[in-house]
A and B are shown apart, each in its own frame.
Chain A
Amino acid sequence: DAGVIQSPRHEVTEMGQEVTLRCKPISGHDYLFWYRQTMMRGLELLIYFNNNVPIDDSGMPEDRFSAKMPNASFSTLKIQPSEPRDSAVYFCASSQQGFSYEQYFGPGTRLTVT
């Protein structure tokens, strides 16, 4: 398997623009997680899905953020409108059958909002 795939790897956008980050989990993994990493706040869990259903989105910073998982092989994280403070590395991870199993992280998307 190719591992978790994320696109784009780098995104530079202007404040106010819509940003969509994409993730393809490892085939057969039931759980998908979106994380954000910044120097100031470290690593934060934003939202996670189980069998394509959002389970906990309490980490989503505000209404400008939304995430979907229309099928088992694809998820998106959207920011609309984007702000400079959204600049971060966004990681997607997947795992089998929940928290007792290790999570496999994608390469991340480095987002810069100017």
Chain B
Amino acid sequence: ELKVEQNPLFLSMQEGKNYTIYCNYSTTSDRLYWYRQDPGKSLESLFVLLSNGAVKQEGRLMASLDTKARLSTLHITAAVHDLSATYFCAVNTGNQFYFGTGTSLTVIP
């Protein structure tokens, strides 16, 4: 079974700071996804990364994929309170999706 590890699991950061969330996976994968989940809410798709070297940006979030290193990063630039949420990466291989454990982000004013 493919393993997906995220780190850190918990992240507390000040507004205006930059930080990166890492997502490592254990075997070859075709596709990598990032989701956001607010407490008690559903999941919102942020990015779909489909190839090695893919980079996507939306607002203060930027995601990248290195399939050779089996690593994806979610970079947060100049964090604001509204970004507080849990962020999940997920990996697709074959017919299965495997989710990371999530990174709980708290942005402190």
Interface residues in chain A, defined as those with a beta carbon under 8 Å from any beta carbon in chain B: 33, 42-45, 48, 55-56, 58-59, 91, 93, 99-108
Q: Which of B30, B41, B42, B92 has the most CB of A within 10 A?
A: B42
Given the known inter-chain contacts A58-B96, A59-B96, please indicate yes or no for A103 contacting B42, CB distance below 8 A. no
Contact A56 B95 (CB under 8 A): yes
Interface size class of B (residues with CB under 8 A): 20 to 34
Contact B30 A104 (CB under 8 A): no
Complex: A105 Cα to B44 Cα, angstroms: 7
Minimum CB–CB distance for B45 against chain A, Å: 4
Q: Can you list 8 contacts pairing A with B, beta carbon distance less than 8 Å?
A: A42-B99, A58-B95, A91-B42, A91-B43, A101-B48, A102-B33, A102-B48, A105-B44
B20 at the interface (CB under 8 A from A): no
Q: List which B16-53 residues lie within 8 A (CB) of chain A.
A: 30-31, 33, 41-45, 48, 50
Contact B95 A55 (CB under 8 A): yes
Given the known inter-chain contacts A58-B96, A59-B96, please indicate yes or no for A99 contacting B30, CB distance below 8 A. yes
Contact of A100 among B31, B43, B90 (CB under 8 A): B31
Q: B95 — which chain A residues lie within 8 A by C-beta? A: 48, 55-56, 58
Contact A45 B42 (CB under 8 A): no
Q: Which of A43, A48, A91, A103 has the most CB of B within 10 A?
A: A43
Interface residues in chain B, defined as those with a beta carbon under 8 Å from any beta carbon in chain A: 30-31, 33, 41-45, 48, 50, 88, 90, 92, 95-97, 99-102
Interface SS, B side: strand
Q: A102 — which chain B residues lie within 8 A by C-beta? A: 33, 45, 48
Q: Which residue of A lies closest to B99 (CB)?
A: A43
Q: A105 — which chain B residues lie within 8 A by C-beta? A: 42-45
Complex: A99 Cα to B101 Cα, angstroms: 21
Closest 8 CB pairs of A and B: A102-B45, A56-B95, A43-B99, A105-B43, A105-B42, A45-B97, A99-B92, A107-B42
Complex: A76 Cα to B42 Cα, angstroms: 18
Complex: A100 Cα to B43 Cα, angstroms: 17
Complex: A96 Cα to B31 Cα, angstroms: 15
